[in-house]
Structure 1
Amino acid sequence: MVSISWLLFTYKVPPEPAAKRIALWRRLKGLGAVYLQNGVCLLPRTDEHLRRLKMLENEVALMDGESVLLETAALDSGQEEKVIARFKADRDAAYGEFLGRCADFEAEIAKERAANKFTYAELEEEDTDLKKLQGWLEKIGKLDFYGATLAEEAAARLRDCEALLDAYARDVFDAQDENR
């Protein structure tokens, strides 16, 4: 039968100050929570998620709000599939944004090549941008609880960006040797 269990977190907080309400929303999204509706979200049942949600439960109380934390499961496989599809859709949206940033990275290196800009300063800047992409993909991957469809494409695209930077670095080193 149905084997996946989730943590259902519901909360209601005062509308003001808005910054606290927004910070709470960001923290829940940062955990990978899927919102079923305003103030109602799900996370896979793990000890870490339970611990973090209990801490958020305390923060909601400090905001003069109310919250309820429950463990739940789908009634049937159809409902379970709907929930998993929501998690995958959220991650695919993040992977899609990531793929767009990879395209920007590739375009930037192409622009530098076209301008014959083979400097250490530019290489350092591109290396920093690649590190940001690597960190971002790692963060998305940690929240990809059910294997979103764009995960493999995003990983392959990052490898392409890494290879592109390696090739650009070789060109920078060659250009710098010629200038000596």
Structure 2
Amino acid sequence: MRKWLVISYNLPTEPSRIRVAAWRGLRKQGAVNIQKSMWVLPFSEENYSALSLLSQELETNNGETIIMESVFIEEKYEQRVISIYNKARSLEYEEIIDKCNDFFIEIEDETNNENLTFAEAEENEEELNKLLSWFNKINARDIFGAPLRAETEEALEKCKKIFEEFSNKVFAKEII
């Protein structure tokens, strides 16, 4: 049976930045919210370390935290949480796919406007690298294989190909 980490916390209403920091830290780690102020992560030493650091930060700011190691009594409960986990990853993958579509439009516009400069190539390469880095972060926390992973990988491969074609056009124009 799979082990899980559960963190529950109570925080003062002010300052709100502490609540936001907790939410961001948990989301960044890949945790999913299953009840008010109750978050779940698959058990790993890395996840435990991250939750411990977050717990210390929250308690330093007048919060109360509890971290538990847990197992689900029935498979259906675990599957429900895995479903929530996959949905969270799919939403993140959807954002990347949307940004890939923006990238395709940007490259198409630059090509149609014959804005084939090194500066444009550099800017688009930076955007591609951001997309790839973002994917790597999400993919690292996608341990259950969310359904949109493959589609996201395909979109990123298309981004790489389109960027390569754009770079070749820029190179050809700059050399002539």
Structure 1: runs of 5+ lacking an equivalent: none
Q: Deviation per CA, 1:134-165, whole angstroms, max 9, x where unpaired?
A: 11111111111210000011111101100100
From 109, 112, 118, give the equivalent of 2:110.
112
Aligned length: 176
Aligned pair partner of 2:42 in 41, 44, 49: 44
Question: TM-score scaled to structure 2, two decimals?
Answer: 0.97
- The offset of 1:68, in angstroms, is 0.7
Q: Compare 64-73 and 83-92 and name the one that shifted more.
A: 64-73
Could you report, residue by residue, the CA deviation over 1:43-101 in whole angstroms, capped at 9, with x for unpaired residues?
Answer: 00001111111122211211111111111111111111101000000000000010000
1:163 corresponding residue in structure 2: 161
CA contact (8 A) 1:87 1:145 kept: no
Percent pairwise identity: 32
For 2:173, what is the secondary structure of its paired residue?
helix
* Structure 2 spans left out of the alignment, 5+ residues: none
- Deviation >4 Å, runs of 4+: none
Question: What is the aligned counterpart of 1:20 among 18, 21, 25?
Answer: 18
Matches of 2:35 and 2:160, distance apart in 1: 39
User: Is the Cα contact below 8 Å between 1:10 and 1:40 reproduced in 2?
Assistant: yes
Q: Name 1:79's counterpart in structure 2.
A: 77
In the superposition, the TM-score normalised over structure 1's length comes to: 0.95
Corresponding residue for residue 174 of structure 1: 172
Q: CA RMSD in A?
A: 0.8
Match of 1:62 in 2: 60
In the aligned structure 1, how far is the partner of 2:93 from the partner of 2:59? 34
User: Are 1:33 and 1:43, in contact at CA under 8 Å, matched by a contact in 2?
Assistant: yes
Q: AA paired with 1:142?
A: A
Whichever residue aligns with residue 72 of structure 1, its letter is: S
Could you say which residue in structure 2 is the equivalent of 1:143? Answer: 141
Q: Is the 8 A contact 1:9 1:53 kept in 2?
A: yes
| Distance across 1 between alignment mates of 2:54 and 2:117 | 47
Give the alignment partner of residue 96 of structure 2, picking from 90, 95, 98: 98
Could you say which residue in structure 1 is the equivalent of 2:126?
128
Once residues 36 and 58 of structure 1 are traced to their aligned partners in structure 2, the CA distance between those partners, rounded to angstroms, is 22
| Farther-moved stretch of structure 1 (47-56 vs 4-13) | 47-56
- The 3-state SS of whatever aligns with 2:95 is helix
Q: Is the 8 A contact 2:10 2:65 kept in 1?
A: yes
Q: Distance in 2 between matches of 1:54 and 1:149?
A: 30
